[in-house]
Every structure is written in structure tokens, then in C-alpha cells.
Structure 1
Amino acid sequence: MTDNGRELDLVIYGATGFVGRLLADYLARHSPDGIRIGLAGRSQTKLEATRSVLGARAADWPIVIADADDAVALAELASRTKVVATTVGPYAKYGTEIVAACVAAGTDYVDLTGEVLFVRESIDAHHEKARANGVRIVHSCGYDSIPSDLGVHVLHQKVQADGAGELTDTTLVASLSGGVSGGTIDSLRTQIDVSRKDAALRRLAASPYSLSPDRTKEPDLGRQSDVVVMDSADIAPETRGWKAPFVMASYNTRVVRRSNALRGWAYGRKFKYREVMSVGDSRLSRLFAGGVAAVLGGLVLGLSVPPTRYVLDRILPSPGEGPSEKTQSNGYFAMDIYTTTTTGARYASRVKAQGDPGYRATAVLLGESALSLVLDRDRLPDEAGVLTPATALGDVLVDRLSKAGVEISARKL
């Protein structure tokens, strides 16, 4: 038994899904000896098949059967382990019961959600009880939103160490290559369905501070749009070409703002954050950026209207599908974040990794997040509740990811 009387250190919930299998494979190869890991899901046969290809280190990993709507089974699962890492989405459909079970059992939790309304519901329902129980519920521990959240975290630390003031206008420029995530598309479908039925939820999802602890205390920084086409001249002299809207900006920006608020606005009360995506630096970059904006708007509109949604549902990737081994290996992401401080100094940070962002790289990000909670609890920030990667895991996760081959750095320009 572990030192807190738990049979297991970590349970991978959703281990038979595409990302769940990648996570299990990563942990089978990279977790230290002695870590007690279990594989959980609803099918004994599929879980056994997953375990059979993970190699000798995973041969004795226990199997735990639990369906996403079986509160009793999920409560038993949570009571057996220190940490749950779940890849079962969309989380608005399949995540509420497992979060509740972890909070009640005093079990730490990490996931991959990119769903604003699910996280808002999690905050409202569980933050105070999780704080009282000393539980860390850490949403968004994959490509959404660790690069954004830790990138701003190390940027702030560098500025603070230099005594250069606080962050003001801050822009992330994403460069990436990889496959399209069926899980991300399904999360978008779910959020559209939920918000379409309720005007109040639509307004909440659209608020730049929708995940903040108290939206009435947030600064009024004017309009903060998520669909931004920007000239590099408005970002930093080091960048070139026009930048397109980044598909996950509407989620990542809210996570970063929640980190700022949870820290008492340590980044600054004038901290204004946006995310865009590189489409090259040719003379056509402005045209490409506008095209990306049109496609993203068309996708949301198309999924909101039954006739076009019927067609899109048959074209877009389905949940559980993923890219080829070659695409996963050849993929990469690089997130460069530029800021100007209240003293007029300019800084930048970078988070970069090899591997398809939504799959292979995400398995590393989620795996190291879970291991941080298992192995490094005494070194983590003294925080509990429904947290962000930066506020829950902070420098511990930066160190772990750096050792796992993820570049995380900050510098003065």
C-alpha cells in the first residue's frame, strides 16, 4: 500500500482510447520503478488488450472497470488511487462524475479538457470543497493549455526576477504541425450544443474572464477578441508576416487569465493576453490569415446548423481517431510569447516540443503532470481547488517537462 493507504498511485481513466493508449505507453516507458499504475475504462476485454502491448513493465498493472455515468464505480476507482488522469471526453458529457468522485475521495485529478463551460461548472461545483479537502483538480494538462499557461508563467518569472515591472500587452504566436483531433472537434460540438440552448451560457462562454474566480473584480481592458488577424508589427519586431486566429485561443486565454487571478493578478492588472497562429511570412500571409479566420468561423457556424452539421459530422474526424505513426512523429509545436512590461522592457518565452501536438506531445504533457502530483507533492505550490497547470504544478512541471525534452525558456529582448 502507498503511504496514504491507497492501493495505486495513478489510474489512467480512458486507457483504451487513442490518447489514453498513448499516455499508457508513455508511462510504461518513462515512469520510475515502483509507481503503481492502473488502467481504467468500461471494457475488461479492451483494457486487457491495451495492457498486453505495453511491455513487461505494465504486465501487472491492475484493471479497473468503471463507466462514466456509474457514480458508485467511479467513487470506488477514486478511493483506490492518489491521482486520476482521464482522457475521456467530451468532458461535459463524461467528466462531471469522475471530478466529483475525486473531490469526495481526496484524490488529485488531471485531464485534457478544452471546454470552457465544463471547467466553469467544475469551478462552481467543486472549487471550495476541493480546497477544504486539499485536492488539486487540474484541468487542461495537454497541448490545451500547458504551453500557454507555463509559457506565461516562466515569462512572468523572468520579468519579476529582473525587476522589470508587470506584464501588459502579451501575445502568443503558435507554430505547429500535426493531425486534426477528433476529440477536440467533439468537444466543440458539445459546447455548441450546450450554449445554443441557453443565452446566459453563450454570454458566459464569450466572456474573456469566464473562468475567473470573480469576474466582477477583473480589470476592464476593453474588447478582447479571440478571433484576431494581426500584423507582426503589432506583436514584436522579431516576428514576420500576418498572423491568423489560433483555434484554441478562446479556451487557452481564459485559462491563463484564471492563473493571473488565482495569483492575485501577479502578472499585472493591465495584463492583456491574446493568441494567434503563424501562417508563414510571405507577402500572401495576410490572405492566408484571413482565410483561416473564415474557415474557423465557418466551422463553428456549420456545426451550429443541422443541415451542414450532418455533412461535417461525416467529414471531420471522430472521437477516438488519431493520426498515423508518421504524422505523430513528424509533428511539432512551438509557442512564442511576447510581452511589453510596465517599465517598457520587452521579453519573450518559448515552449517547444517534438511530436504531434494533440497526441504524442500531449501524452508527454499529461503524463508528466500526473507524475508531478504522484512524486513531487511536497514541492508543489501550496494550493488546492480547481486549479490551472501553472497554479497547481508550476516550476515542478517546468522541470519535469524540460527533462522530458520540452523546451521552456524566457529571455529579455
Structure 2
Amino acid sequence: MAEREFDIVLFGATGFVGKLTAEYLREAAPAGARIALAGRSPQKLAAVRDELGPAAAEWQLVQANSNDQASLDALAARTKVVVTTVGPYLRYGLPLVQACAENGTHYADLTGEPLFVRDCIDRFGDKAAETGAKIVNSCGYDSIPSDLSVYELYKRSVADNAGELTDTTLVAALKGGASGGTIDSGRAMMEAIAADPKKASIMSHPYSLSPDKTMDPDVGRQTDQALERAENIDPSLRGWVATFVMAAHNTKIVRRTNGLLGWPYGKNFRYREVMSAGSSPAAPLVAAGISGGIVATMAAGAVLSRVGFGRKLLDRVVPKPGTGPDEKARRSGWFTMRTFAHTTSGAKYLCTFAAQGDPGYQATSVLLGQSGLALAFDKLPEIAGILTPASAMGDALTDRLRKADMTIEVTTV
């Protein structure tokens, strides 16, 4: 690693989120960091570098294509870390994971696709563990706030000798829009399930990303659907909560972290995520609309993804990948994730994870950028393989994000 040409290669630097991540790395990377931009078009890469100004003038450009395994192998062999924004990962991501696993190169992505993570585990987990590669999935708004919040709650319960975690619920509140890339990732998974219906179980089973199926806790039914009063979660909350669209992925990442760390959260750890629908008189209707709309949208998408004319219709009506809001809208966004945890001793804790900036764009560029920097420059746990943010970077990433003006704090309830 020490002899490699680059510290970080940003793959997909000409895309919308790729450009935002490049801008963030320009500001946050330490002096002397060896960064390169990678993608299909040298001309477009050069244009991005020019837009970044003098601070990035020495960054090198690397031509690589998701469909060209040799180019990805060469890219991975030249750098300590690859940070990639090229999705949907289910369509385009596996060759790059293969290259990083075989070359012992650390890797971070933005996937919210359980099918992709499962494929990474099954195809390249053993090789990555053998070569020492840390392949870290879901290093954006999905799923760092979820993963690090529970990890911080666990550490606090240990420090207080408060017992193991039991019922734990994340309540998400945010201002921001769904990106075209996120929607396209959903379509990719629907199309994969249409081609192989057996894969539907990966989406529905709470422990489908578990590292050891024989160790899965038996805690009864855990559902990602929600429609209830917020005070059922904690008396301090008001209003209603609804289904959180990313819960189905985030909860699996959190449970995978628990497994990768040896199940320290506890044998009775139950985890779910919901979304705040507010406390106005209309909140019950809003919550019902959100929850019902998510189910209906997913059902319609699954049906349309099965046939050619349905896919063409979706092409016309959904936002295109690589598009996003303007700077003013990105900066006006925000998110606050409040995770309430109970322990076997009766203690109750709250972890608040909050940041300014549109979750899927502005905040995600910080989360992904700092993940890349942590993998490149920080002393991290020895664990290797197909990992999660908390299992791979834990305290180092938490410290970095706090210094990047994100709030991550645990209090007693």
C-alpha cells in the first residue's frame, strides 16, 4: 500500500454526486494527499479538474470503464483506496469490487442495494479477507447515520455497564429529495428480482446480509413497515411516524455490523427505522399516505420492471441518474436521525445524528469523502472483507464526521 501511486481514486468523478465528492475532497484532504479522478472520458475528467481550481491542478486522471475489467484492475493496483459513485451498483459495481478485492485495495461506495451487497459477500468476501481489502458498502446517508448511531449507543451502554441493547428505533426527519440515482438503483433491484424471483427473499429477510446465518438472533418478527403514534417509541415524541423508504436497507447494514463484530449488541437486539410525519392535525393522513405510497410505488415498479413497455414508461417519468438540485437547494436541506435504545438493565439512551445539507447530495458527499479519507489515512481495525461503515472505520469515522460539523451525540433518556 505504501508504495502505491495514489492515496484515493474517485471513480465516477464526472457524475453529479461524483463532482460534489471531488469538491469536498479538494477542501478536506490533507496537504500532499495524492488524489486522482477516474472515469470513462478523459475530456470530461479534465473539465471537472479544471472546475476544481488550483488546489486540484496536480490531481491525475485515470481512464477506466465499468465494462472493462482490465482497466479496473489497473486502477485498483495503483491506489490505496477507491471511492466510487458509479451506480446502480447492481448493474455496474461488481467488476470494481472484484478488482479491489483481488488487489488488496480499500473501497467505499454509496449503495443502498441489498442485492448488490449480498453479491459482494458471496463472490468476493473471501478474497477481500485474504488480501486485506476493506470493501465498505453504504458510505453515504445510506447507511452511515444508522450504522454509527447504533454503534455509539452500544459503546455508551458498555461504558455505563448498562447491559445489552434491546428494542432500538431510529426516527428519521429530513428535508431533501430522492435522487435519480437512488430511484435507478431501486429499478435495478426490481429488474433483478423480476429475472430471478428467489432474490426477493434478500429484500424481505431482516438478516439477509448476516455474516453467519447460524448466529442470527431469534427475536421474533421485525418489520420495516410503520404507521403509528410517535409516543409509542418514546414519550418525548409527538405526532405520527411512517415507513422510512431506506429502512429495508439500513436495518440490514446495522444487523450485519452486529454480526461482523461478534454480536456484541446483544441476543435480544431488535432494530427498526421509521420516518417522522410531523405533529400537525393532518399528520395521521400524511403518515398513512407515506406508508401506503411506498408500498404502492414499489408494487407498481415491480410490475412495470417485468415488461419492456413498463421499463420504457419508467424511463420517461422518473428522474434521470446524474441529475440533482442546485446549490441553494442542496444547502437548505438537512437531516436529524434520533435513535432510541433500551438496554437489559432498564437504561434508555438517545443518539442524535444530524447535519446540514441535502441528505442525498450535500451531506452524502461529506460522508463518502470522509470515509475515503479514513480508509486512506487512519489507523483502523484489522478486519477485512465485505464490511460496513461501523465495523470498518468505527471511532475514526465518528471523530472525522464530528470535526466536519456533523452532530453525533448520545444522551440518557
Q: What is the TM-score with the length of structure 2 in the denominator?
A: 0.97
Matched with 1:118 is 116
Query: Does residue 260 of structure 2 align to residue 234 of structure 1?
Result: no
Secondary structure of the residue aligned to 1:349 is strand
Cα deviations by residue, 1:60-90 (Å, 9 ceiling, x for unpaired): 2110001101000000000110000000000
- Following superposition, the deviation at residue 130 of structure 1 comes to 1.1
- Following superposition, the deviation at residue 250 of structure 1 comes to 0.3
Matched with 2:85 is 87
Matched with 2:73 is 75
Matched with 2:375 is 373
In structure 1, what is the Cα distance between the partners aligned to 2:61 and 2:298? 39
Matched with 1:404 is 404
- Following superposition, the deviation at residue 128 of structure 1 comes to 1.7
Q: What does 1:248-263 align with in structure 2 at a 5 Å threshold?
A: 248-263=246-261
Secondary structure of the residue aligned to 2:172 is strand
Query: Does residue 232 of structure 2 align to residue 214 of structure 1?
Result: no
Are the counterparts in 2 of residues 258 and 388 from structure 1 also a CA contact under 8 Å?
A: yes
Matched with 1:34 is 32
Aligned residues: 409
Matched with 1:174 is 172
Which amino acid in structure 2 is aligned with residue 169 of structure 1? D
Matched with 1:345 is 347
In structure 1, what is the Cα distance between the partners aligned to 2:64 and 2:311? 32
- Following superposition, the deviation at residue 217 of structure 1 comes to 2.0
Partner residue of 1:62 out of 56, 60, 63: 60
- Following superposition, the deviation at residue 48 of structure 1 comes to 0.7
Matched with 2:102 is 104
Secondary structure of the residue aligned to 1:359 is helix
Secondary structure of the residue aligned to 1:153 is helix
Q: Identity, % of aligned pairs?
A: 52
- Following superposition, the deviation at residue 308 of structure 1 comes to 5.9
Which amino acid in structure 2 is aligned with residue 375 of structure 1? F
Are the counterparts in 2 of residues 110 and 366 from structure 1 also a CA contact under 8 Å?
A: yes
In structure 2, what is the Cα distance between the partners aligned to 1:367 and 1:347? 29
Which amino acid in structure 1 is aligned with residue 399 of structure 2? D
Partner residue of 1:133 out of 131, 134, 156: 131
Cα deviations by residue, 1:329-374 (Å, 9 ceiling, x for unpaired): 1000000000111111111101100000000100000000000011
In structure 2, what is the Cα distance between the partners aligned to 1:310 and 1:283? 40
Matched with 2:47 is 49
Partner residue of 1:320 out of 295, 319, 322: 322
Secondary structure of the residue aligned to 1:343 is coil
In structure 2, do the counterparts of structure 1 residues 407 and 104 end up closer, same or farther at CA, with 3 Å as the change threshold?
A: same
Are the counterparts in 2 of residues 158 and 410 from structure 1 also a CA contact under 8 Å?
A: yes
- Following superposition, the deviation at residue 227 of structure 1 comes to 1.6
Are the counterparts in 2 of residues 117 and 205 from structure 1 also a CA contact under 8 Å?
A: yes
Are the counterparts in 2 of residues 180 and 323 from structure 1 also a CA contact under 8 Å?
A: no
Partner residue of 1:269 out of 267, 270, 283: 267
Partner residue of 1:186 out of 164, 184, 187: 184
- Following superposition, the deviation at residue 302 of structure 1 comes to 1.9
Which amino acid in structure 2 is aligned with residue 406 of structure 1? M
In structure 1, what is the Cα distance between the partners aligned to 2:103 and 2:162? 43
Cα deviations by residue, 1:360-405 (Å, 9 ceiling, x for unpaired): 10000000000001111x2x12211111000000000000000001
Q: RMSD of the TM alignment (CA)?
A: 1.2
Cα deviations by residue, 1:147-193 (Å, 9 ceiling, x for unpaired): 00001011111111111111111100001001221110000000011
Are the counterparts in 2 of residues 179 and 327 from structure 1 also a CA contact under 8 Å?
A: no
Matched with 2:384 is 384
Gaps of 5+ in 1: none
Partner residue of 1:356 out of 344, 355, 358: 358
In structure 2, what is the Cα distance between the partners aligned to 1:62 and 1:310? 38
Which amino acid in structure 1 is aligned with residue 365 of structure 2? A
Which amino acid in structure 2 is aligned with residue 370 of structure 1? G
Which amino acid in structure 2 is aligned with residue 190 of structure 1? A
- Following superposition, the deviation at residue 229 of structure 1 comes to 1.4
Moved more, 116-125 or 232-241: 232-241
Are the counterparts in 2 of residues 139 and 389 from structure 1 also a CA contact under 8 Å?
A: yes
Which amino acid in structure 2 is aligned with residue 328 of structure 1? R
Matched with 1:334 is 336
- Following superposition, the deviation at residue 310 of structure 1 comes to 4.3
In structure 1, what is the Cα distance between the partners aligned to 2:35 and 2:246? 31
Secondary structure of the residue aligned to 2:382 is coil
In structure 2, what is the Cα distance between the partners aligned to 1:217 and 1:313? 42
In structure 2, what is the Cα distance between the partners aligned to 1:190 and 1:201? 12
In structure 2, what is the Cα distance between the partners aligned to 1:288 and 1:121? 36
Secondary structure of the residue aligned to 2:245 is coil
Which amino acid in structure 2 is aligned with residue 262 of structure 1? L
In structure 1, what is the Cα distance between the partners aligned to 2:388 and 2:142? 11
- Following superposition, the deviation at residue 312 of structure 1 comes to 4.0
Cα deviations by residue, 1:39-77 (Å, 9 ceiling, x for unpaired): 000001110111110010101211000110100000000
- Following superposition, the deviation at residue 198 of structure 1 comes to 1.9
In structure 1, what is the Cα distance between the partners aligned to 2:247 and 2:311? 23
Which amino acid in structure 2 is aligned with residue 391 of structure 1? S
In structure 1, what is the Cα distance between the partners aligned to 2:315 and 2:277? 26
- Following superposition, the deviation at residue 195 of structure 1 comes to 1.2
Cα deviations by residue, 1:285-315 (Å, 9 ceiling, x for unpaired): 2211110011111211221223665444322
- Following superposition, the deviation at residue 233 of structure 1 comes to 2.4
Matched with 1:395 is 395
Matched with 1:14 is 12
Matched with 2:244 is 246
